[in-house]
Amino acid sequence: MDKINCRIEIVEILASRICHDLISPVGAINNGVEFMKDMGEDAGDDAIDLIEYSAKQAAARLQIFRLAYGAGGRDADIKAENVYSAFDKLLSADGKIKQNWNPLSEEFTSDIPEGWCKILTNAMMMAVECLPRGGEISIKKNEAITIITAKGESAAIRDYTEEALENLLPVSDINPRLVHPYISGLLAKEYGYEIDIKENGGNIDISIKK
């Protein structure tokens, strides 16, 4: 398969992944609207709550996708607090995963290189996927390295994530579950970063080095 066809296939798989992640909240919004149409005033607050919750979930996911995959992620005006806020909106709904880091502390506000927030967003997405039963995500940063730690019950790295992150898998083996680490590895290289994921005493550490 030539390079152009490989790129097209990756774009198609990434589009499938994004649609998969959005179809649940968007579908719930549609269901809420249909319910309100059918029931009228009898629909009550439950339908409105469902629509509100689902709309917030869809908006949060779109914001994260924009930071991770779009040109906006490399904007110099994007700060660590924007990344924290986007994930807070996504994760606070069910409360299963908590963030334990302060985006306003000096380590996250001074000397931030270009593209760091974009790569951080991609790493955070992988951290969330490592916590199927919930847990905590913490971040430590110094001049040399950023470490994102996912801690929780049954914390685990999905099969072949490391190989996808290092772009060692052929495109034919990339599926919607693996396309995010694959794209994350490509983006890290494009912006001059190294990104790594490994198990560490029951936790998952994702490191970002410039």
**Tens of pLDDT along 51-96?**
888 999 999 999 999 999 998 777 878 999 999 999 999 998 888 9
Residue ranges of the alpha helices (H) in the chain? Answer: 3-39, 44-69, 80-91, 116-129, 161-165, 179-190
Q: Residue range 137-155: average pLDDT?
A: 96
**Which residues pair with residue 135 across a beta bridge?**
97
Query: In terms of CATH architecture, what is 3-209?
Result: 2-Layer Sandwich (3.30)
Parse the chain into domains and list their residue ranges.
3-209
**pLDDT in the model for residue 49:** 86
> Residue 155 and residue 128: Cα distance in Å, rounded?
10
First-to-final CA distance of the chain? 31
> Residue 25 and residue 98: Cα distance in Å, rounded?
21
> Residue 120 and residue 180: Cα distance in Å, rounded?
13
Strands 203-209 and 194-200: antiparallel
Asked if pLDDT for residue 2 goes beyond 60, the answer is no
- pLDDT-based confidence at residue 98 (cuts at 50, 70, 90): very high
- What angle do helix axes 116-129 and 44-69 make, rounded to 10 degrees? 130
Asked if pLDDT for residue 183 goes beyond 60, the answer is yes
Average per-residue pLDDT for the chain = 91
Task: Kindly report the length of the chain.
Answer: 210
> Residue 190 and residue 71: Cα distance in Å, rounded?
13
> Residue 60 and residue 79: Cα distance in Å, rounded?
16
Q: Could you report the per-residue pLDDT of 164-177, keeping only the tens digit for each?
A: 999 999 999 999 99
Q: Could you report the per-residue pLDDT of 193-203, keeping only the tens digit for each?
A: 999 999 999 99
- Helix (H, G, I), strand (E, B), or coil: what is residue 82? helix
Copy the structure tokens of residue 141.
Answer: 């940063």
Integer angstrom CA distances of residue 49 from 29, 36, 101: 10, 12, 30
Q: Could you report the per-residue pLDDT of 7-62, keeping only the tens digit for each?
A: 789 999 999 999 999 999 999 888 888 878 777 766 667 788 888 889 999 999 99
Model-level pTM greater than 0.85?
yes
pLDDT over 70 percentage in the chain: 95
- pLDDT-based confidence at residue 3 (cuts at 50, 70, 90): low
